[in-house]
Amino acid sequence: MEPISGTADDMKITAIETLVCHARMRNWIFVKVLTDQPGLFGWGEATLEWHTRGVVGAIEDLSRLLIGEDPTCVEHLWQMMWRQHFWHGSGIVRSTAIAGIDLALWDIVGKRHGVPCHKLWGGPVRNNVRLYCHLGGGDMESFYETPVDNARRFAELAQQAVADGFTAFKSMAVPSTMPIEGLKPVKAAEACVAAMREAVGDGVDIMVDCHARPSPAMGMQFAKVLDPYGLYFLEEPCWPESIEGLAAINAAVTTPIATGERVTHLAAFRDLFAQRGCEICQLDITHCGGFSEARRVAALADAYRIALAPHNPQGPVSTAASIEFGFSQPSYIICESVHNDVPWRYDVVEEGFEIDNATRTVTPNTKPGLGITINEDEVRKHPFQQEMLQRVFYRDGSVGDW
């Protein structure tokens, strides 16, 4: 049978391009979908650390399905990308490639109708979106490499985040641990959180990212010792595959458990939610198949009364998409942001939304689509470089989680 087709005057996709921009810790992968309408194209992002070449290749493979198709048939094209060529698109490389293209397609639809993407989905549901930062604002050394035995430094970075206008910030106060360890790492994590809470008081929300380093048993210990400090959420206290462990931890503490950045498709979120593995869903729009799948995940989360706080440490298109999504979703509570990863970030992008730096809140984008403009000349000043290798080994030499 023939696929669906539009009217004779529908536009067609003529090419799908990728532009790779090296941004220290990661390579941003910008996706550009071009059409046969002069000047009408869409931007997406498909950044996936340490898998840049694989994602670029996957986008090239997927583009063969889409050349000549109507870019406004977004759902139809998403189904093609996810279901065709035998293998479903649930693997992280392909789901990220699909996401980059899907975002660009929605950008085109918004531009064609002259409205921001959130108005395509029913209009804004809030006046502003709240942002939170990483300690150090996205600076790799401050966030990822501050040792957990330096509680004083955590306190200093926390105070800096508040001075920068943020009312919420995230830290990596939990060290990498073997499947079972003694009190030392647990006490170190507690000291860091205690120092941060004392430094900023109860009026600022503190989040701790375990980075899925602990086993369920160690994650339970960290969760219980940190529970009295009133964290806004505790992120990835164990491997995302350990749904039973997440559910047990979530049931044992009052701190809301957050996870979902490494979950790539609707059925996997269904299993996570059904076991009540989290209270906060951190779907990553650039990894879970783009807006098309994210909207389905959000509807499912609503059924379980699970909040949305997207994972977003990537580049500027991912940020624009995460914020645009936030203005359309009632259960959305806060958006992850980075502002200090590379000094030339805003040479690359012009954004449609506005940030109030005094409160670190965002007002809605008023420009069509995602509302962003990418300066391709600036992107080309920062060509691909191999990402910094991150290797973690336990004290006995066995492999740990970064």
- Write out the two tokens for 377: 């000349």
Residue where the block lists tokens 């007002």: 363
Q: What are phi and psi of 354, to 5 degrees?
A: -125, 140
Residues designated as active site: 211, 311
CA distance 389 to 49: 10
Contact between residue 281 and residue 308 where contact means Cβ atoms under 8 Å apart: yes
Contact between residue 143 and residue 344 where contact means Cβ atoms under 8 Å apart: no
Q: What are phi and psi of 394, to 5 degrees?
A: -75, 170
Query: How many CB atoms neighbour CB 356 within 10 A?
Result: 12
* Helical segments of 209-354, H only: 216-226, 243-252, 266-274, 290-304, 316-326, 345-348
Task: Give how far Cα 361 sits from Cα of 18, 126, 176, 282, 348, Å.
Answer: 31, 12, 33, 19, 22
Contact between residue 154 and residue 171 where contact means Cβ atoms under 8 Å apart: yes
Longest alpha-carbon distance in the chain: 69
Q: What are phi and psi of 344, to 5 degrees?
A: -105, 15
- Write out the two tokens for 95: 């789901």
Contacts of 6 (CB under 8 A, 6+ apart): 70, 72, 73
CA distance 241 to 252: 19
Helix axes 52-66, 92-113, angle to 10 degrees: 50
Quick one: which of 345, 240, 219, 342 has its CA closest to 282? 240
Tabulate helix, strand, coil % of the chain (nearest 5). Answer: 40, 15, 45
CA distance 287 to 293: 10
CA distance 13 to 104: 11
Residue where the block lists tokens 């009217």: 7
